[in-house]
Structure 1
């Protein structure tokens, strides 16, 4: 199950290359891995634990675009049957979500499918997406 999770998170080659493989030492805070790799390890852990809810708080804020793409692919495939709550830093990362909720100071401003929100001229979400392009 561990190797399957590492393969899904595309970390298998990295772990295999470590001295000791699965028994390799991890430094304090996982500093011997990149920020993106640490995010992918968190996804692998959630997969192994069979977490029914995955909360991603600005998970893509400090990773490169290639790792972000991997992270999005893993979430869309390995967690397709689970609830994923994403607090988005990059608006395009949630364009494929089932539902988007836009909040301001803890109050829901709007919620709907992304496509429906993008069709509304006065949509806050739509304005975010247009500004992000």
Structure 2
């Protein structure tokens, strides 16, 4: 599947509301960040705390073009938590951290505009 990052692109194919409910998008707090120089695109390794229900999950995020590791600590981000884990280089990425492409195609993280409890689900 190819994702279209063009903001002028038409919407994707319509889905049923039940299909949307199958995608489990949660918020968590970044508690650890490491460089990921082995990745093909500028990436960072993230450890995200999703609270008592899910715990800490790892994610490879193509965000190194705009973000520095230490500045991300304590930041809340949104992620899909119910995809199967994916091997990315030597790292097993357990969640898909969400973002939007800016004008240059760099990933801008998607996060709530106010603090919410870790593990909160998007609805």
Higher helix share: 1
**TM-score category of the 2 structures, normalised to the smaller one:** under 0.3
TM-score of the aligned structures, taking structure 1 as reference length: 0.22
Q: Which structure's residues are more often strand, by fraction?
A: 2
Which has more radius of gyration? 1
